[in-house]
């Protein structure tokens, strides 16, 4: 990578443009394997299961966001806020004894509603970043206001236990859900008309428009998909903790850094084109697992949260640089 950046000879430059990304990925993988092999307790079955379980929540949201990114609408900055509103709705439902199904339906309905509105605003020509930045403020504010900024908890043996803490044959149910959602999303993108339209509009919006596929309906659909994924994650997270608060997905809580940015990181580190049209949800899932493995490794090595946040940031920036070089090798950019 360094030789490519420094210019180097003509041949070296050409080689780096063609194979630079492969070399870079190989170097990262080698480095990772070295550290993984030399860290005790890392390559155990238990730890691998932990890694995938940790990757599940952010991965599912990442899969939802992949639809938005692939369709050429960049990303939504309101992921964690949508989840915050959904987690409050779900927990309020559970706390008021409405049962799992109605609470889940409530959370999903809110997700569909907010997703559709954001999608419509994006579709008619609003910038996705600015629209979802504003929406994020509203969603988080409403979530805090609805819950009075308090923790809502419901008693432990509840209907959603199976989703939160249950497991089948030692595999946590949330991991199974992650795999199932990943497979469904991949099939939907590859085999359905909707999936092909996502790629078409993402790759070339004017062609999409000329062939009768407006971005308006597409933006609404993909935003609903992303929001529904957020709602699902919120429900699973709430079921796990048997409680909810509006700031559960904000940076103060648990995972390193900002949850929305972490979700965006899974999409970008997985190697999806952020301009749309190129990538897959499989890449996002792998990106989520990779980020989670590195994070886990750093925890075992005793790094503090600063280093972990920094590493995710570095991964994003390097994936951008790698992608820019890959793209320059392939086609010229206008």
Partner 1 sequence: MVKIKRYVTADPELAFAVLLAALVYSLFAFTNPLFFTWNTGFAIMERFAVLGLVGLALTLCIIAGEIDLSIGSNAALTAVIVVRFTDSIGAVNSILLGVSVATAIGLTQGFLIACLRVRAIVLTVGTLMLLRGVALFAADEKTVMLTDFGVPDFIQSRVGVIFSPASLLVITLFVLVGLFMRYTRYGREIYAIGGARKEAVAAGVNLRRPMMIVFAVSGFCAGVGGAIIGLRSGTAQPLGLQYLLLAATVAAFIGGVSILGGKGGVIGAAVGTLTVNILNTGLVFKVTPAYEVQIYLGILLLTVIVFQILSMLYETRKQRALLLADSNRAQARVAPAGRSDPNHTSRGN
Of residues 92, 111, 136, 226, which one binds partner 1 by CB under 8 A? 136
Contact 305, 254 (CB under 8 A): no
String marking each residue 238-257 x if it binds partner 1 according to CB under 8 A: --------x----xx----x
Mark out the alpha helices in 275-304 (DSSP H runs): 281-300
Residue 57 near residue 229 (C-beta atoms within 8 A): no
Half-sphere exposure at residue 47, Cβ-oriented, CA atoms within 13 angstroms: 15
**Is residue 211 at the binding interface for partner 1, with CB under 8 A as the rule?**
no
Question: In whole angstroms, how close is the CB of 180 to partner 1 at the nearest point?
Answer: 29
Q: Which of 33, 43, 180, 324 binds partner 1 (CB under 8 A)?
A: 324
The token pair at 167 is 């497991």
Nearest-angstrom CA–CA distance, 5 and 8: 8
Given 109, 190, 307, 330, the residue binding partner 1 (CB under 8 A): 307
Q: Is 144 in the site for partner 1 (CB under 8 A)?
A: yes
| Cβ atoms of residues 66 and 247 within 8 Å | no
Ramachandran class of 331: left when φ > 0, alpha when ψ lies in -120 to 50, beta otherwise: beta
- Residue 171 has what DSSP assignment? E
Cα angle for residues 272, 278, 280 (degrees, 5° grid): 60
User: Does 204 help bind partner 1 (rule: CB under 8 A)?
Assistant: no
Please choose, out of 48-56, 164-172, 229-237, 258-266, the segment that lies near partner 1 by the rule CB under 8 A: 258-266
Tell whether residue 317 is a contact of partner 1 (CB under 8 A). Answer: yes
Restricted to residues 72-91, the positions that interact with partner 1 (CB under 8 A) are 74-75, 77
Q: Which residues are near partner 1 by CB under 8 A?
A: 74-75, 77, 121, 124-127, 129-131, 133-142, 144-145, 149, 246, 251-252, 257-258, 261-262, 264-265, 268, 274-275, 304-314, 316-317, 320-321, 324-325, 328, 333-334
């Amino acid at each position: 990578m360094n030789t490519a950046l420094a210019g180097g000879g003509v041949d070296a430059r050409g080689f780096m443009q063609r194979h630079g990304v492969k070399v870079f990925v190989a170097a990262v993988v080698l480095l990772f394997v070295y550290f993984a092999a030399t860290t005790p307790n890392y390559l155990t079955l238990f730890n691998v299961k932990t890694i995938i379980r940790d990757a599940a929540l952010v991965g599912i949201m990442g899969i939802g966001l992949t639809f938005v990114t692939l369709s050429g609408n960049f990303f939504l900055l309101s992921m964690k806020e949508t989840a915050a509103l959904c987690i409050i709705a779900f927990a309020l439902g559970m706390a008021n004894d409405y049962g799992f199904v109605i609470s889940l339906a409530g959370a999903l309905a809110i997700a569909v509603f907010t997703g559709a509105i954001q999608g419509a605003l994006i579709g008619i020509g609003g910038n996705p970043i600015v629209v979802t930045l504003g929406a994020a403020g509203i969603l988080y504010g409403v979530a805090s206001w609805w819950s009075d900024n308090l923790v809502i908890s419901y008693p432990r043996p509840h209907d959603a236990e199976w989703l939160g803490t249950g497991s089948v044959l030692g595999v946590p149910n949330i991991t199974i859900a992650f795999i199932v959602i990943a497979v469904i999303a991949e099939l939907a993108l590859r085999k359905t008309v909707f999936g092909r339209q996502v790629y078409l509009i993402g790759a070339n919006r004017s062609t999409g428009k000329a062939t009768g596929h407006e971005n308006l309906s597409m933006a609404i659909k993909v935003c609903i998909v992303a929001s529904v994924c957020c709602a699902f994650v919120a429900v699973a997270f709430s079921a796990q903790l048997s409680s909810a608060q509006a700031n559960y997905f904000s940076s103060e809580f648990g995972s390193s850094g900002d949850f929305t940015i972490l979700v965006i990181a899974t999409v970008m580190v997985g190697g999806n084109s952020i301009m749309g049209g190129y990538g897959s949800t499989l890449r996002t899932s792998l990106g989520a697992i990779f980020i989670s493995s590195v994070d886990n490794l750093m925890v075992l090595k005793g790094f503090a949260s600063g280093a972990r946040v920094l590493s995710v940031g570095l991964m994003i920036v390097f994936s951008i640089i790698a992608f820019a070089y890959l793209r320059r090798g392939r086609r010229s950019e206008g």
